[in-house]
């Protein structure tokens, strides 16, 4: 327990009073600029909110202008009033329950400000860059799909070599049959005609595959040209909305090119040809003069049919290898607004989001500063008497008021002149 008459206690109280009075003087000066500062922050937030709202409105007429203006003014007023209330009330309350209630109100109001203003501010600050980010991401997706479609088409074109090997094997067997090395009968008999039939079919398939190569190359070159234009649009100066329109048109063309490359793949064609290689065989009439010769021809044809089945299986394995490749991803470009782009690519625009939120919530820091200062003032005044906390000006005013009161009390009371005296 402290003694009020203790000189050390009185000195400590005097220092606390001077400390509290110094802080009050600082707060009094800061109060002269606090309202202006809050107003400037609220107006700045309203301006960026107006820009964000304008980017969301499709109409550019007078009604849209007044709608965006009304919303931005409402946001500015709400921010100014909200932080003015808290800056006055929160530092002044002393009970824990009141502080918790006002802090909860501040937290709820901060979320409301972020919901109605900060994301629009971010859209105004980084909306165009976010849309460009969306365009660049779409270009990467289309590039991957184009390269994948071309890789599948090129792999399918590689089946031409497998078809050529099978064709060459049948031509070699035909030459052997022509010299009598297969059936033992030289000439172009039934076995030779069967081998020639299959080699001609494969030659036609080989020519059809070769004819697809220029189409594949042309489609891939055209796709790369479109991609180059799309890349240029992502970094080209000017309004991003106009570039998005051109980008959308190029995206449609590129999607058609990717579809065309998928259709140019000859793997399904080679697969069907491999199935027909042994399934659809027109057996020639045996033309041997003797039964023994015809039996030799039949045995040779049976062996050729076995070879056909083996070659067909080989082609099917090659075709399945191509068909088993992962197809290109289905890419569809979807236009996006600046506000949606900022939200979708928020991780890429952290500084813009930080600035957009800070301009709205910075007064919260001022509220805490005033809270701490008011607590320090109350702590400095703790235990001091009222007369100890009076300034010199207040003391002079009190003395003058006291003298006035004493003068009134000492003044003699005389009846009015027109009042009759008692007799």
Contact between 121 and 359 (Cβ < 8 Å): yes
Alpha helices in 57-118, H assignment, sequence order: 62-89, 96-113
Classify residue 289: in a domain, yes or no: yes
Nearest partner of 13 among 382, 392, 394, judged by Cα:
382
33 and 157 together in one domain: no
13 and 108 together in one domain: yes
What pLDDT score does 324 carry? 83
Question: Among 276, 311, 337, where does a domain finish?
Answer: 337
**Could you count the other beta carbons within 10 Å of the beta carbon of residue 14?**
12
144 and 287 together in one domain: yes
What pLDDT score does 423 carry? 42
For the chain, give the longest Cα–Cα distance. 184
Q: Residue length, the chain? A: 423
Q: Which helix (H) or strand (E) holds 187?
A: none
Question: Which residues, given as ranges, of the chain have pLDDT below 70?
Answer: 1-14, 16-17, 58-60, 170, 173-192, 194-195, 276-308, 380-395, 398, 402, 406-423
What pLDDT score does 78 carry? 92
For the domain that residue 239 is a member of, what is the CATH number?
1.20.1260
318 and 183 together in one domain: yes
What pLDDT score does 40 carry? 92
What pLDDT score does 80 carry? 93
219: tokens are 């489609």
16 and 120 together in one domain: yes
Classify residue 226: in a domain, yes or no: yes
229 and 324 together in one domain: yes
What pLDDT score does 115 carry? 87
161 and 248 together in one domain: yes
What pLDDT score does 410 carry? 66
Q: How many CA atoms lie within 13 A of 421 on its CB side?
A: 3
112: tokens are 């409301």
212 and 261 together in one domain: yes
42 and 170 together in one domain: no
169 and 277 together in one domain: yes
44 and 171 together in one domain: no
Distance CA 199, CA 275 (A): 15
Question: Among 315, 337, 359, where does a domain finish?
Answer: 337
Contact between 146 and 257 (Cβ < 8 Å): yes
216 and 319 together in one domain: yes
Classify residue 190: in a domain, yes or no: yes
What pLDDT score does 127 carry? 80
| pLDDT one-digit tens code per residue, 143-196 | 999 999 898 888 888 878 877 887 777 677 666 666 665 555 555 556 667 667
291: tokens are 């039964």
Classify residue 419: in a domain, yes or no: no
Contact between 269 and 252 (Cβ < 8 Å): no
Distance CA 82, CA 92 (A): 16
| pLDDT one-digit tens code per residue, 62-92 | 788 888 889 999 999 999 999 999 988 888 8
Classify residue 374: in a domain, yes or no: yes
- Supply the range of the domain harboring residue 199: 132-337
Classify residue 410: in a domain, yes or no: no
Number of independent structural domains in the chain: 2
DSSP 117-151: IIHHHHHHHHHHHHHHHHHHHHHHHHHHHHHHHHH
What pLDDT score does 108 carry? 94
Classify residue 392: in a domain, yes or no: no
What pLDDT score does 409 carry? 66
98: tokens are 């009141």
Question: What does the DSSP 8-state code read for residue 385?
Answer: -
236: tokens are 């080209």
What pLDDT score does 81 carry? 93
Classify residue 401: in a domain, yes or no: no
């Amino acid at each position: 327990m402290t003694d009020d008459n203790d000189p050390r206690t009185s000195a400590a109280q005097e220092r606390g009073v001077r400390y509290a009075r110094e802080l009050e003087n600082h707060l009094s000066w800061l109060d002269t600029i606090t309202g202006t500062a809050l107003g400037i922050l609220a107006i700045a937030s309203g301006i960026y909110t107006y820009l964000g709202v304008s980017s969301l409105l499709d109409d550019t007429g007078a009604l849209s202008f007044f709608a965006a203006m009304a919303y931005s003014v409402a946001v500015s007023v709400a921010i100014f009033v909200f932080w003015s209330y808290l800056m006055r009330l929160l530092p002044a309350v002393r009970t824990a329950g009141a502080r918790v209630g006002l802090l909860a109100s501040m937290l709820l109001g901060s979320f409301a400000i972020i919901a109605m203003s900060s994301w629009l501010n971010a859209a105004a600050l980084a909306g165009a860059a976010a849309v460009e980010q969306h365009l660049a991401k779409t270009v990467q997706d289309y590039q991957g799909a184009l390269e994948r479609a071309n890789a599948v088409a090129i792999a399918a074109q590689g089946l031409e070599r497998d078809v050529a090997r099978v064709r060459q094997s049948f031509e070699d067997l035909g030459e052997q049959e022509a010299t009598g090395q297969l059936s033992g009968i030289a000439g172009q008999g039934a076995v030779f005609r069967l081998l020639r039939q299959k080699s001609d079919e494969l030659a036609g398939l080989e020519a059809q595959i070769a004819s697809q190569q220029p189409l594949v190359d042309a489609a891939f070159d055209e796709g790369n040209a479109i991609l180059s234009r799309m890349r240029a649009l992502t970094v080209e100066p000017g309004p991003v909305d106009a570039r998005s329109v051109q980008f959308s048109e190029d995206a449609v063309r590129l999607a058609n090119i990717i579809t065309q490359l998928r259709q140019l793949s000859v793997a399904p064609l080679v697969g069907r040809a491999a199935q027909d290689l042994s399934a659809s065989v027109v057996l020639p009439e045996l033309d041997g003069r003797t039964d023994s010769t015809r039996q030799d021809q039949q045995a040779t044809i049976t062996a050729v049919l076995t070879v056909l089945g083996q070659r067909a299986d080989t082609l099917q394995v090659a075709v399945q290898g191509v068909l088993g490749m992962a197809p290109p991803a289905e890419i569809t470009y979807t236009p996006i607004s600046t506000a949606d782009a900022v939200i979708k690519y928020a991780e890429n625009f952290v500084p813009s989001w930080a600035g957009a939120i800070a301009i709205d919530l910075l007064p919260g820091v001022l509220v805490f500063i005033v809270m701490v200062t008011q607590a320090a003032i109350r702590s400095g005044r703790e235990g001091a008497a009222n007369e100890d906390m009076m300034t010199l000006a207040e003391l002079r005013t009190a003395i003058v008021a006291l003298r006035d009161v004493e003068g009134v009390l000492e003044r003699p009371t005389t009846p009015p002149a027109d009042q009759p005296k008692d007799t």
